[in-house]
Structure 1
């Protein structure tokens, strides 16, 4: 990149390159080089980085590669974003070897958003338009009866904790009382509280491979060594677990992004491993409310409450805009997490907690979930009907895996985007060399007719892959 200084921007002169034969994801390569440039002084605090689009063009890679690299560096605290201005090297304390672990951000200002006429089939986005407006207004009217508070309970409001415990007992068979529940701002926040409490720099924390990128980001930001643990079509491979992990993050109800559900015999082996090694299992139950054609399996927490912390969120079932989730743990761990939270001055919005408690108390959230299950079941049926045997992991949740040959994935994703369909690839969910190849197709946020049209486009592209000369 050429250095060019003007009143509006500064382009930094740092040689970057990518090696497609290295077996390391391109985003990891870009992130490692930028991190090394900051450590070595080639990038100074306050210097502006190129936009993701410009750097992607210079490296001849997709914009997603650069976006993911930047997002990881934001989360670790190496970069700062200035709204409407760009991405800058963070101002680190003098002599610091790494950013302060409390600094974490998971969204980039220039993350591409769907434009008019585009169909967004990326995962992680729920249908937020199906709520009951009358129930919503009723819940928030009650909040106005409470004056503002000058402090908050680090465990969460007692009423909400009791309502959540009853909801989890009813919906997931979780044997927990209010004393086992701590209210969070969502899954990422819950993970960070757990990491801040249980991990010290240098501890080893396991994450699924491929898996949820935020878990890797949070553990790394807290100074842990992230250990990728392979998954297969059923979930995490227990035999691949080392004995020196302090924490293991896993998604047994619907593995993200492959979609498998961990069978009972493997769950029992996983818990036996945790008892033998002393590790804590962090169970992310992120979309367990939505299940199709199969009965739900019991939560790991219910099988061994002493070795498991259960994470949940309303992001998929109601809206990520609420910023509310929970963790369920034995009291000894919950007390330690609450104490750590107090030292951080961390809190969850009291008005939001009261509104959600009202939705639970009145049965409105249960009714909402029943309506959403029917809505998502129709979309899931459309995906399976149009894409057939290539669909994996369709028994639960709001996304499926569409398996494809490795060399076909980028091309099909690109052609789909050109035709107005936004898709995610498995490449973005790997920590190391890619083990699973395909598209991660989310059917949560698009309307049913959009899901059908987007899947028809994808089916046509896959048909062209199978029969290139027709």
Structure 2
């Protein structure tokens, strides 16, 4: 298998960094349960370090339960140990609370899972066949296939109101974020800073993003969110970047209002930090048109990240990034230096799917279906928090302990739920995703969840 980038800083213990990097890759999903790791000798050659370094890193991960050795076969990723906080299908871990086991889950109401029930299977097969007709590439495309970047630019114009021709392909929004994090950390070390840099993050917020920053050696500073999203006035001075989900805050579901968007962009310009805009499901609104992207308000200070994982499927591993020219150039330079590039297969499939008009048709069906599903969820579980957008709502409960009890009892009934506590909050609440199950499964599960929540 191809390992994710594992940058090593020679001024710090290499074995510790390597173990941290592999651990973060497992948490972030770049490494999955069952993946075979290179031998200690192979990895030492790849990273240009001694075998003592790689052996020590593997020994640490073996002791912690992240990997396992199989006699005669090698070292394999076990996944996230049960005692370790880790990401669910889309929300990530947090607050020291582990995700429940998938065993026994019949109906998954956790966030982050796309709705594939409305996917036109015939159109999907046509796109894959069209992608397979392409000739093999002779040279790597570090920016992404030109035709893919053009399709994404058209998508951003039609569905997000962003005019751009400078799209970079990524392996997904979190993969793109990890690239930006490594770039920020590298610049901090080049300046001889005591720390690689500080990134302000939403609290509660997306824990995979926090893991990506930590893996790059960046310090994260939590900033409170309220019913209107990120508290821009509470972003501290001296940060390198601010990470946010303005279209649909994860996990509370708020939409950052126009005055806060303007204030954030103005502060970024005045104080010299970047804004990292994760638009993970911004295409999904059911009431009014989305507010303008931060990237449209501040193209000189905003890095925009998007993905098809929530609107189509994570199978493609396809995302995109739009950044200020200096950041874009630096990212391309680093990709060429390290040989890192997004996979072309998923790009070809999405290009074919969109080129035939099937992506636009799929989005229309998806918005209609998820809007109706959200109405069902709200009717069953009200009061809930979250805009009429995306594919999850928050069901507030009186305490975190009560939320864990609901989650546990739902699991006994074969229903997978997520708790707000897992995303860094001490408040009580259940995060309910309604995209993953079929409509029939959702309707059958809601009465039981409502009863458990006291609705």
TM range (shorter): 0.7 to 0.9
- Would the aligned equivalents of 2:205 and 2:423 in 1 still touch at CA under 8 Å? yes
Q: Which of 297, 319, 329 is the matching residue for 1:303? A: 297
Cα distance change of structure 1 residues 76 and 357 upon mapping to structure 2, 3 Å threshold:
closer
Cα distance change of structure 1 residues 225 and 357 upon mapping to structure 2, 3 Å threshold:
same
Q: Which of 140, 143, 159 is the matching residue for 2:147? A: 159
2:260 is equivalent to residue 274 of structure 1: no
Q: Which of 156, 163, 182 is the matching residue for 1:196? A: 182
2:397 is equivalent to residue 404 of structure 1: yes
- Would the aligned equivalents of 1:253 and 1:285 in 2 still touch at CA under 8 Å? yes
Superposition pairs of residues 165-244 of structure 1, within 5 angstroms: 165-177=153-165, 180-200=166-186, 202=195, 203-244=197-238
2:358 is equivalent to residue 355 of structure 1: no
Larger C-alpha radius of gyration, 1 or 2? 1
Cα distance change of structure 1 residues 71 and 261 upon mapping to structure 2, 3 Å threshold:
farther
How far, CA to CA, are the matches of 1:282 and 1:295 in structure 2? 22
- Would the aligned equivalents of 2:309 and 2:315 in 1 still touch at CA under 8 Å? yes
Q: CA deviation at 1:108?
A: 3.4
- Would the aligned equivalents of 1:378 and 1:448 in 2 still touch at CA under 8 Å? no
Superposition pairs of residues 412-423 of structure 1, within 5 angstroms: 412-423=406-417
Q: TM-score, normalised by structure 1?
A: 0.75
SS at match of 2:111: coil
SS at match of 2:277: strand
Q: CA deviation at 1:303?
A: 0.7
Cα distance change of structure 1 residues 269 and 83 upon mapping to structure 2, 3 Å threshold:
closer
Superposition pairs of residues 93-112 of structure 1, within 5 angstroms: 108=80
SS at match of 2:382: helix
How far, CA to CA, are the matches of 2:293 and 2:321 in structure 1? 13
Which 5+ residue runs of structure 2 have no aligned equivalent?
1-12, 38-42, 67-76, 83-98, 190-194
Q: Which residue of 2 aligns with 1:439?
A: 430
2:253 is equivalent to residue 259 of structure 1: yes
How far, CA to CA, are the matches of 2:78 and 2:227 in structure 1? 28
- Would the aligned equivalents of 2:278 and 2:305 in 1 still touch at CA under 8 Å? yes
Aligned length in residues? 387
Cα distance change of structure 1 residues 170 and 73 upon mapping to structure 2, 3 Å threshold:
closer
SS at match of 2:222: strand
How far, CA to CA, are the matches of 2:312 and 2:180 in structure 1? 24
How far, CA to CA, are the matches of 1:393 and 1:409 in structure 2? 18
Tell me whether 143-152 or 240-249 shows the greater mean CA deviation.
Answer: 143-152
How far, CA to CA, are the matches of 1:301 and 1:380 in structure 2? 28
- Would the aligned equivalents of 1:199 and 1:246 in 2 still touch at CA under 8 Å? no
Q: TM-score, normalised by structure 2?
A: 0.77
How far, CA to CA, are the matches of 2:144 and 2:110 in structure 1? 32
Q: Which residue of 2 aligns with 1:459?
A: 450
2:318 is equivalent to residue 324 of structure 1: yes
- Would the aligned equivalents of 2:370 and 2:391 in 1 still touch at CA under 8 Å? yes
How far, CA to CA, are the matches of 2:314 and 2:78 in structure 1? 13
Cα distance change of structure 1 residues 76 and 286 upon mapping to structure 2, 3 Å threshold:
closer
